[in-house]
Amino acid sequence: MIIKNLTVGPLQANCFIIGDNTTGRGAVIDPGDEPDLIMEVIKDNRLKIDYIICTHGHFDHVGAVSDIKNETGAKIIIHKDETEIYKAARDMAAFWGHDVGSLPEPDILVKDEDNISIGTLSFTVLHTPGHSPGGICLYGEGIVLTGDTLFAGSVGRTDFYGGDMSKLKESFNKLMSLPEETRVLPGHGPHSTIGEEKRENPFASGFEF
């Protein structure tokens, strides 16, 4: 499996490029900005991108979706409960003083426990609301891509529109039920493991951020 982590945009979001060595198929997760850089990595790894997967619809995670779709023809995947947030990304970006162009309509709306295949790789969609209503994580192949639900030593904020602390707690507990050796690839900041977060994340002991 190919995993490339690019830190993009003014809010330093993690964009991940996942590729299957066997078939050369790939996916881009959370292309928030810097489409030229993302496309350079895709081409360097000779990947055919099948999907653009948005863990949620905030502008720092979807800002380059249109450019990547235009370049690759990939299908856009987002949770069915996140379309309102996704469509409001341009307005949210403007509020923060950034510019995001119009976003194309999603091609595939997923729900909890749906499966996404990338070549021979397989990932399960985990619906993890709290930071946003339709936030998702992708679990499989020994990793979990957590978007802004779970960070190393922290969790996503819940004070944006659609945020919900009680739902975030449920989502956190869902992630903590994964095998401890699972690598955590979050939407911002350094990587971790589920085991490390069980032991060291203050949210695990009931602390509310």
Quickly count: other Cβ atoms within 10 Å of residue 92's Cβ: 18
CA atoms of 76 and 28, how far apart (whole Å): 10
Between CA 80 and CA 36 the distance in angstroms is: 29
Q: What confidence category does residue 89 fall into, taking pLDDT thresholds of 50, 70 and 90?
A: confident
Q: Which domain holds residue 11?
A: 2-205
Give the number of domains in the chain. 1
Average pLDDT on 32-43 reads 98
The enclosing domain of 57 has a CATH number of 3.60.15.10
Spatial separation of the C-alpha atoms in residues 134 and 110, rounded to whole Å: 9
Distances (CA, A) of 85 to 77, 103, 161: 14, 12, 8
Over residues 128-133, the mean pLDDT reads: 98
pLDDT digits (tens, 9 = 90+) for 51-81: 999 999 999 999 999 999 999 999 999 999 9
Cα 208 from Cα 140, distance rounded (Å): 28
